[in-house]
């Protein structure tokens, strides 16, 4: 009888409103970037909530993201599209939960910049010149090279190609361009925004637009990935993570001015940049579309032609079956 009473008491306690439950934690590593802080603003400020899942998001630099991927330290990690076939070659399966970086509606990302008074008018004028870049192995750089190759007829090989490619820390690129250390530069989005407003620089190639004209896809350079065993063990938690991430992005888009002002207080960006980033340079869909999958296979196919990889999987085979589809 006592056991029966105890059972009823436990059931009643669980049913009481406001009873505290231990939420499942999903750890998420993403690139250090003010814009991504804006996209996660609603999650980090408890505007987007969950009764079952707590998201523990951590910003990391690219080297740390690369190093963390094989350790499986994080449940979800933002990673380069090119990382998927490269990881598979080493026996590591990465599963795509959502698209993280897709070209913005205006397709202004991925441009090649020169000084406004430079003699260079087209990409072909850069033959024999030096291009500064923030990360030579990045998927974004691979997209730029594909466009310069197939749209502008340039040999983009790092050895013996038409141009000399130099990797420099991202914050130093505009300074290197200004002083003549390099002749052209591919800039991160915050720098491209700064360059476009200054009037001191101009573009000789807009490679995101070139890619769309060539292949009919927008560039996808990064995705959010997890691991098969983690997804199998806690599918409902990862579904809820996907829902929360999409809701946070939707909030940021609907309240871009408010979010931009909030993140500008703790990051060295103007409030206006966040709004520009969402439409002009890039976007974080937090979903997967058929066009995204075509984009992944497009960069892989061209990377294979360039000798970067030898083979690649079908995009459909690496996208999680419960991913939010667009």
Comparison of pLDDT for 242 and 267, the residue scoring more? 242
- Strand order of the β-sheet with 24-31 is 53-60, 24-31, 76-80, 220-226, 95-103, 282-283
Residue 212 has pLDDT above 90, yes or no: yes
Banded model confidence at residue 9, pLDDT cuts 50, 70, 90 = very low
How buried is 212 (Cβ within 10 angstroms: 0-12 exposed, 13-18 middle, 19+ buried)? middle
Q: What is the model's pLDDT at position 294?
A: 98
Q: What is the pLDDT of residues 296-321, one digit of tens each?
A: 999 999 999 999 999 999 999 999 99
Q: Give buried/exposed letters for 118-133 (b at 16+ CB in 10 A, else e).
A: bebeebeebeeebbbb
Mean pLDDT throughout 241-253?
A: 98
Q: What is the model's pLDDT at position 5?
A: 41
Single pTM value for the model: 0.90
Q: Give buried/exposed letters for 44-65 (b at 16+ CB in 10 A, else e).
A: eeeebebeebbbebebbebeeb
Indicate the average pLDDT of the chain.
92
Q: What is the pLDDT of residues 219-241, one digit of tens each?
A: 999 999 999 999 999 999 999 99
Residues 137, 81 contacting (CB under 8 angstroms): no
Banded model confidence at residue 111, pLDDT cuts 50, 70, 90 = very high
Token pair, residue 108, equals 């202004």
The domains of the chain, with CATH numbers, are 23-103+220-318 (3.40.190.10), 111-215 (3.40.190.10)
Q: What is the pLDDT of residues 125-168, one digit of tens each?
A: 999 999 999 999 999 999 999 999 999 999 999 999 999 999 99
Q: Give buried/exposed letters for 264-277 (b at 16+ CB in 10 A, else e).
A: beebebbbebbbbb
Token pair, residue 102, equals 């897709």
Strands 184-186 and 53-60: unpaired
Q: What percent of the chain has pLDDT over 90?
A: 85
Q: What is the model's pLDDT at position 267?
A: 82
Q: What is the model's pLDDT at position 53?
A: 97
Question: Residue written as tokens 């013996």?
Answer: 160
Q: What is the model's pLDDT at position 153?
A: 97
CA distances from 214 to 31, 99, 295 (A): 29, 21, 12
Q: 235-254 vs 256-264: helix axis angle to the nearest 10?
A: 90
């Amino acid at each position: 009888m006592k056991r029966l009473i105890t059972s009823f008491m436990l059931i009643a306690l669980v049913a009481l409103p406001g009873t505290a439950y231990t939420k499942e934690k999903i750890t998420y590593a993403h690139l250090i970037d003010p814009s991504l802080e804006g996209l996660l603003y609603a999650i980090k400020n408890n505007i987007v909530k969950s009764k079952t899942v707590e998201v523990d998001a951590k910003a990391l630099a690219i080297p740390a993201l690369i190093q963390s991927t094989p350790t499986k330290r994080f449940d979800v990690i933002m990673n380069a599209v090119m990382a998927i076939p490269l990881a598979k070659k080493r026996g590591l399966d990465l599963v795509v939960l959502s698209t993280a970086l897709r070209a913005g509606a205006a397709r202004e990302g991925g441009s090649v910049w020169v000084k406004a008074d430079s003699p260079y008018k087209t990409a072909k004028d850069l033959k024999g010149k030096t291009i500064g870049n923030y990360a030579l192995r990045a998927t974004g750089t691979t997209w730029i090279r594909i466009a310069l190759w197939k749209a502008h007829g340039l040999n983009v090989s790092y050895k013996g190609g038409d141009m000399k490619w130099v990797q420099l820390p991202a914050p130093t690129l505009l300074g290197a361009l200004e002083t003549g250390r390099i002749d052209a530069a591919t800039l991160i989005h915050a720098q491209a925004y700064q360059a476009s407003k200054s009037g001191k620089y101009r573009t000789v190639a807009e490679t995101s637009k070139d890619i769309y004209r060539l292949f009919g896809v927008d560039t996808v350079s990064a995705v959010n990935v997890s691991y098969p065993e983690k997804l199998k063990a806690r599918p409902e938690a990862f579904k809820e993570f996907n829902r929360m991430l999409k809701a946070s992005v939707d909030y940021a888009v609907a309240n871009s001015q408010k979010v931009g002002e909030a993140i500008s207080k703790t990051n060295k960006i103007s409030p206006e940049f966040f709004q520009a980033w969402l439409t002009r340079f890039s976007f974080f869909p937090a979903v997967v579309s058929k066009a995204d999958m075509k984009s992944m296979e497009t960069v892989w196919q061209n990377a294979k032609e360039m000798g970067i990889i030898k083979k690649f999987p079908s995009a459909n085979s690496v996208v999680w079956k419960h991913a939010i589809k667009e």
